[in-house]
Amino acid sequence: AMAPTPQPKTLLGHHRVLSPSASIKVSPLCLGTMNFGEIWKDLVGECTKETAFAILDRFYGAGGNFIDTANMYMNGESEQWLGEWMAARGVRDDLVIATKYSTSWKMPFMELEGQILSNYGGNNKKSLRLSLEASLKRLGTSYVDILYVHAWEGTTTIPELMRALDDVVRAGLALYIG
């Protein structure tokens, strides 16, 4: 006979199906990582890498598996640190990682003198490709579980956007879109 599944340590470990059309199982709370980083500390405060790792350890240790980030949070530092933490702990496949694109992750104030930034933001196919490639590299993974459109910019057509998102899912770079 099979042993019964052990009870979760906390309520955070009582995972549920995300939605009727996405049967992936997630913790009841999603940990947002917008403040994980130091690059915007003068604007919004800072969360050091040590503190971010401690938060991630506590969340994971309590049974949390759903983590949200975005291409532009702390100019990519949030994704970078999350990727470093996942690699150090060897827990990537235990987690449901959601990231976003649309907002430019190459900000004009990043001193990218001489670089043309017009296609690093928006919902167009090129922006999606550039953003997702950079996100996957920072996260140190070959796929994200959920890729969200972060904002609607009003110029990309719905057919272009949906074809581009479908291409990403068919390529296995994102399991779900939103």
Q: 117-131 b/e with 16+ CB inside 10 Å = b?
A: eeebbbbbbebbbbb
Domains along the chain with CATH numbers? 24-177 (3.20.20.100)
Q: Can you give the pTM of this predicted structure?
A: 0.90
Q: 21-33 b/e with 16+ CB inside 10 Å = b?
A: ebeeebbeebbeb
Backbone angles phi, psi at 147, to 5 degrees: -115, 120
pLDDT on residue 65: 99
How far is residue 127's CA from residue 123's CA, in Å, rounded to a whole number? 6
Q: Report the pLDDT averaged over residues 70-88.
A: 95
Question: Residue 28: which pLDDT band, with cuts at 50, 70 and 90?
Answer: very high
Q: 41 pLDDT exceeds 90?
A: no
Which listed residue (60, 73, 101, 120) is catalytic? 73
More reliable by pLDDT, 100 or 114: 100
User: Tokens 């994971």 label which residue?
Assistant: 60
Known catalytic residue at 101: no
User: Tokens 């959920």 label which residue?
Assistant: 146
